Chain A
Amino acid sequence: MNTLILFPVLFPITAAVAFNLITFKTRASRNIVTASVIIVNFLLVLLAFRFAAIPELQLVKTNSILDIYFKVDKLGILFSLLVSLLWICTAFYSFEYMKHEGREKSFFTFFTATLGVTLGIAFAGNLFTMYLFYEFLTLVTFPLVIHSGSEEAMQVGRKYLKYSFFGAALVLAGIALLYMSGSNFSFTGYGVINTVDVKSRGLLIFTYCLFFVGFGVKAAVVPLHAWLPSAMVAPTPVSSLLHAVAVVKVGIFALTRVTYYIFGAQVIKTIDSIYFVGPLVVFTILLGSILAYHQDNLKKRLAYSTISQLGYIILGLILLNRDSLTGALMHLVNHAVIKITLFFCVGAVMYMTGKKTIQEIKGIGKEMPITMGCFSIAAISLIGIPPTNGFVSKWYLALGGLHENRAIFVIILLTSALLTAAYLIPIIITAFFPGEDYRPSVSRRDPPANMLVPIVILTAVVVLLGLFPNLVLNFIKVIAVEVI
């Protein structure tokens, strides 16, 4: 039954190919089919967890390099569940949203295909398989980025490709360097590199930095973050899912794999990599939140905010202790939920009113109270104010920082939280408290149920994960114990 692992990966890709061939008569029928594909795929994911006796699968093995190997471990389960669930929400949201954007066929084709590829990354059992899917991810998401087909979108698409391929090239170089010192790079709990001697130390540092920058492109680490804000020209479901959740989180996920499952926490600690990558991460956090304040376009503001929040997660990864890793993985989940909610709300405002900047949304809270209410809750959570889920992850990240006696990181976290408040709270205030001279224009116009229900559900998750974090927390703590 091990082939069950393959189904969640292949099924959406097959479905995507089928979508391209079949012409649906009505929009509704296509929506139903798409939704059922994505929901069925979620069930397949669950099935794979349940019935795959030994959760691994050797698909092709021609030599030690070309070795396509899948394995389901706890980290993979966490990531795949997160992705599948958020994909369902996004699917329903997109059914409504994409009516305006047009070319729905192409959108849903690649949208479904991306799910398969992302799950492929989640289930990849070794470095090469992950790399393969990592490249595929760039390719399947590219059409989504340039969806509108405008000159600007094309330009951004080219930028996206250049950055991604550059990162991938660095990763490839890293893999090549790694294979010089060994042959089996399937993901293992405490890492596969066991010994560090004086000779190999320099090489290891170099290799790790290659991986870090390479995967860091997708995770928007500072020198190579510029593609993320530009990519906001894409339709909102794409920005939300791909650039706040799937693509960037794949970068983080890959970094986690490399750090904890290939190198191993002990090795990374021995080679003192924090001195090389730490400054980048600090820059990422601060740059993201400082520049976010300057953006008038709501989506761009959120994009810069993503950069800084991803910095939090990577900070947790490189601090290399259980608390920090718990915080990082918690924030991987929490940030995904929060950011997707924020994007959905902004998208809903754009969809219903066409307003894109902060000046325009004055008083929008009175017109769309539920949408902006959800936005406010998610924003408060992103700042890290209890009792929302953003606080939980920040709590563990800060404890992790203090655990390493690096209070400076905690101060940076809090500074960034302050900046987060500075760029998010004005949105809420402008939306809800427009002042005396505001004349309410139209009656209530919250978006249709297809958009509103995912937003409300996700907001509920934001609060519930804040009140009862132990559901996810205990699972993540087990992961942390397994690797450190």
Chain B
Amino acid sequence: MLAQFLLLFILVFPMICALAGWIIGRKHEQIRNIFDISVSVVEFSAVCLLSIYLKAGPIHVIIPDIMGEGLYLKLDYLRYIFVFLTAFVWLLTTYYSTQYLTKFKNRNRYFAFFTLTLSSTVGIFISQDLLNLFTFFELMSFSSYILVIHDEDQYSHKAGASYIAAAIIGGLFLLMGLFLLYDYAGTLNIDLLPGKIEQMGAIRYVIAALMLVGFGVKAGMVPLHVWLPQAYAAAPSSASAVLSGILSKTGVFGILIVATVIMKGDLYISLALLLLGLMTMLTGGLLAVFQKHLKRILAFSSMSQIGYIIVGIGLIGLLEEHGEIAIYGTILHIVNHSLFKVMLFLCAGVINRTMHEQNINLLRGFGRNKHLLKITFFIGLLGITGVPGFVGFASKSLLHEALVEAQHLFHSRLLWGAEILFIFCSALTVVYMLKIFITLFVEKNPAYKDEHKKYMNIRELIPPMILSLCVLLMSLMTGPVLRYISKALIYLTGHVSTFEIKIYTAQNIYSAMMILAIGVVTFVWGLRRFYRKQVEGNWVYFNPIPDGLNLEAVIYIPLGKFLYKTGFAVFSVIDAAIMMPAEWIAAGAKYIGEIKIKRSNRNYLAEFLQRYYKEKTASTPKLPPKEKQASDKAVEESLKGIFEGLRYRFNSIIYGIFIFAIALVLILFVLVSNQVGT
């Protein structure tokens, strides 16, 4: 019972506190900060507490009648990993935000929506009914939108527009998928769906594709990634951290649910995911290498890493019963990427807050003497590039091994290519991480000489340092972490894992070293040599990709505009075609109305009235003064004028209409009763 309560609590509590925090923050900024931090602490402790109850089996909460279908929450080990990550990252970022945002406007709004985003993200991970999941998904999109545009400058508004458009369009695709799914399966309960989906025909591919598009948008899957680099770069760093670390994982979670649970690792879906994942990996990696804007590098890096995860999900399906290794790799990489990327974004935030600059050419040598920051960042680098000994190595090796295993299973050229791409992208990771690290922390720059602590707020550095400690800890205890993942694995495969994991094999270490070597070589003799130029005596990186060349500017926006303009043209024509005859008739009537006719201008009504009110002559003239002046002359007047005069004589048109109506009704009665009589 307490478990159910706790599960509901972690969903509802932040939602209420978002509002409470907002109310408090209007008056007392400091209290609000403490309040919000304690909210995230409470949330995190509640999540930790849940792990005890989880041992007895999955926790279910069903509340009927909410949204018609009822609210159905479920927590199992797989979901727990996501929920735990969310609560943990939120704890750190909330604290970080209180330090980071000191110079920003609208802090109160930020914290309210930050906490609301927490609630909706947890909601996504624990909802068992896809309808509930969709609800939280949309809620999250909208509340995180406000975080993205926090700066409210032109750049963030542009990024925000892309973000919200992508979110809405993705949401509609997902919704279409849900409509079809519900129509065919009659339920949206994730556990019941796998049984139903088998009986469907080819429609299940349509459904899966629609839903994958919906989730893929949030995950940043190619070619739906256009919003991602902009949004991550535009948001305040604390928000970018959760966007990249956690919110993108909601998309990944959705893809995992659709591909592995609902579609049971269907071959075609898995193959498609593998391809899309590879493309995402490559696009993200290549673009990251050429960027010079710190947060954009990290954003594209995020995309590339999510490509790995999607490849992993594809491999789970391809390997079928041998898929356990891919599951381990995927889930571990999800966890790793969350930790690394949150940490890196927070480090970027530390730099950004003081320098208000993100161009790494201008930040050259900034961190050379800032050792804490340097070490933190370096641990992130070691982790994400997969240096043996670090946990990033474990997840990448597992994914790599899964890919190799798939090669053995299928003997396909495609998978050969996939492996080469995999290695190449891993090398790219090394390149772009080195690019940041060398430029920011190694190169000398007289501007920042002997600045050890200047421009640094040590409290700000605590969350990234904690994260780097976590990374170190996980690197030391990769075994226990994998054992925990094996519990989650049961929910994906249905049986207890018997698979023995060996990470530190000669083969793995060899390939990791090879990747590192390729990366370093590419960096030193490739990137540094060909993509730097000398400006005013300094070597600066330049981006060979022209500014306007991206999918959004080249394809999506023109396509959208074209579709809209066509639609508008068609419907304007229809609108006009309907209105034209009416206008002709009106013009005709106007023409008739303007025919001049002669009439005497003696005003019978006025004469009658004057006779009637002999005494009160002054009050009677209800006539336009013009008519009074030309009293006896016959004048030419248009029909329109006559009618206007007539109308004027009614006290107001309202009564005229009423008299007309009453007359109509009377005539109707007379006619009908006559009919009855005969």
| Interface-facing stretch out of A41-49, A193-201, A461-469 | A461-469
Count A-B pairs with CB separation below 8 Å: 118
Q: Does B456 contact A (CB under 8 A)?
A: no
A290-B571 CB under 8 A given contacts A223-B578, A399-B179, A421-B168 = yes
- Rounded to whole Å, the gap between the CB of B344 and the closest CB of chain A is 28
Closest to B571 in A: A287
**Assembled-state Cα–Cα distance A290/B175 (Å):** 21
Contact of B182 with A399 in the complex, beta carbons under 8 Å: yes
Q: In residues 378-402 of chain A, which contact B (Cβ within 8 Å)?
A: 380, 383, 385-387, 391-392, 395, 398-399, 402
Contact A414 B175 (CB under 8 A): yes
Q: Does B138 contact A (CB under 8 A)?
A: yes
Given contacts A154-B653, A399-B182, A425-B164, A433 and B157 within 8 Å (CB-CB) = yes
* A-B contacts besides A386-B134, A391-B67, A395-B179, 16 pairs, CB < 8 Å: A139-B661, A143-B654, A154-B653, A223-B578, A226-B575, A286-B567, A291-B568, A291-B571, A386-B67, A386-B138, A387-B139, A399-B182, A410-B179, A429-B157, A436-B152, A466-B67
The answer to whether A403 and B183 have CB atoms under 8 Å apart is yes
B172 within 8 A of partner (CB): yes
A139-B658, A473-B68 known; A226 and B578 CB under 8 Å?
yes
Answer yes or no: A36 CB below 8 A from chain B CBs: no
A154–B574 Cα distance when bound, in Å, is: 26
Q: Cβ of B135 and Cβ of A386 under 8 Å apart?
A: yes
- B672 within 8 A of partner (CB): yes
A residues in contact (CB < 8 Å) with B: 62-63, 65-66, 106, 135-136, 139, 142-143, 146, 154, 157, 161, 222-223, 226, 283, 286-287, 290-291, 293-294, 380, 383, 385-387, 391-392, 395, 398-399, 402-403, 407, 410-411, 414, 417-418, 421, 425, 429, 433-436, 466-470, 473
Chain B interface mostly: helix
Contacts of A402 in B (CB 8 A): 179-180, 183
Question: Is the beta-carbon distance between B654 and A62 smaller than 8 angstroms?
Answer: no
Closest CB in chain A relative to B247 CB, distance in Å: 17
- Tell me which residues across on chain A come within 8 A of B572, comparing CB atoms: 291
Name which residue of chain A comes closest to B183, CB basis: A402
A-B contact pairs, 17 of them (CB 8 A): A62-B673, A63-B672, A146-B653, A157-B653, A226-B578, A226-B582, A287-B575, A386-B67, A386-B131, A386-B135, A387-B67, A391-B67, A398-B179, A399-B183, A407-B180, A433-B157, A470-B68
What 8 A-B pairs have minimum CB-CB distances, sorted nearest first? A386-B135, A402-B183, A398-B179, A287-B571, A143-B654, A469-B68, A414-B172, A385-B138
Check B568 against A294 for contact (C-beta < 8 Å): yes
Main secondary structure of the interface of A (DSSP, over half): helix
CA–CA, A18 to B76, complex, Å?
68
Contact A469 B182 (CB under 8 A): no
A222 to B574 CA separation, bound complex (whole angstroms): 9
Contact present for B657 and A433 (CB under 8 Å)? no
Q: What's the nearest-Cβ distance from chain A to residue B43, in Å?
A: 21
A203 to B654, CA, bound (A): 39
Evaluate contact between A142 and B171: CB separation under 8 angstroms: no
Q: A139-B657, A286-B571, A290-B567 are in contact. Are A436 and B672 (CB under 8 A)?
A: no
Task: Verify if B676 is at the interface (C-beta below 8 Å from A).
Answer: yes
User: Within 8 Å of chain A (Cβ to Cβ): is B149?
Assistant: yes
Please tell me if B321 contacts chain A, counting CB pairs below 8 Å.
no
- Which chain B residue shows the least CB distance to A415? B172
Known: A290-B568, A386-B138, A436-B152. A469 touches B176 (CB 8 A): no
Bound-complex Cα distance A290 to B139 (A):
26
Q: Which of B632-667 contact A (CB under 8 A)?
A: 653-654, 657-658, 661
